[in-house]
Amino acid sequence: MPRYTDDSKERVRDAVDMIDLVSARTELRRAGANSYQGLCPFHDERTPSFGIDPVKKVYHCFGCGSGGDVFRFVQETEGVDFQGALELLADRYAVELEVEDEDPRTAARRRRRERLYALLERYAAYYARYLWEAAEAADARAYVAARGLDEATLRRFRVGYAASAWDHMYTRSRSAGFSDEELLAAGVVQRSRERGTLYDRFRGRLTFPL
Ligand SMILES: [Zn+2]
């Protein structure tokens, strides 16, 4: 994957019309000098707790805690990574992206960092969903509710629940194309001393991403 210059990124940000971009997902109403409000596109609600600042080009939701800049918005709504969001916006707002020159070793190190980061991100997102959707996480949901922690806060901090099966995430990560070596380097699996096989390090418990 090419790496685009920081300058390209800023030119795309400058070119984006935040109101136009967000209006495709939710109806916005002016709520102040530099503020528009609407129903949050990221969670179900009847009264608006989602707002944007079209000058700073940022969004925030007080209901579910989602927030970020134009790139994050496209990542979240289109389900693409940062690079994908950058390319999509560059295309839509007709900005030409410039590729940075990199020596092969630096490029390899950067790719590895990106892979491991993507892997951890994948785990955090999966666990966060699992806490609210999995039958086996019912006790964990009851536990956090009894501790007085509300769902919006837990979602904001992406608290999750790791499945109890030994290879739940391991199997899924391998299918998604991650190698044993990458999974070990990221610290999400361990090697069994007796059998030499790999298994999930986090199982049957609440998880808190960094
Ligand atoms: Zn929201």
Closest to 201 measured CA to CA, from 175, 169, 174: 169
Question: Residue 16 sits in a domain of what CATH number?
Answer: 3.90.580.10
- Rounded to the nearest whole angstrom, what is the distance from the C-alpha of residue 47 to the centroid of ligand 1? 11
Residues with CB under 5 Å of ion ligand 1 are 40, 42-43, 61, 63-64
The percent of residues above 90 in pLDDT, for the chain, comes to: 77
Supply the pLDDT for residue 60: 96
Condensed to tens digits (0 to 9), the pLDDT of residues 84-107 reads: 999 999 999 989 998 888 788 887
Of the candidates 38, 57, 92, which is a domain's last residue?
A: 92
Residue 1 pLDDT class (50, 70, 90 cuts): low
Q: Is there a single domain that holds both residue 81 and residue 15? A: yes
What range does the domain containing 173 cover? Answer: 104-207
In a domain, 121, yes or no: yes
Of the candidates 57, 92, 127, which is a domain's last residue?
A: 92
- Rounded to the nearest whole angstrom, what is the distance from the C-alpha of residue 131 to the centroid of ligand 1? 18
pLDDT for 121 beyond 70: yes
In a domain, 98, yes or no: no
* ipTM for the whole complex: 0.99
Burial degree of 73 (CB within 10 A; 0-12, 13-18, 19+): buried
In a domain, 199, yes or no: yes
More confident residue, 191 or 121: 191
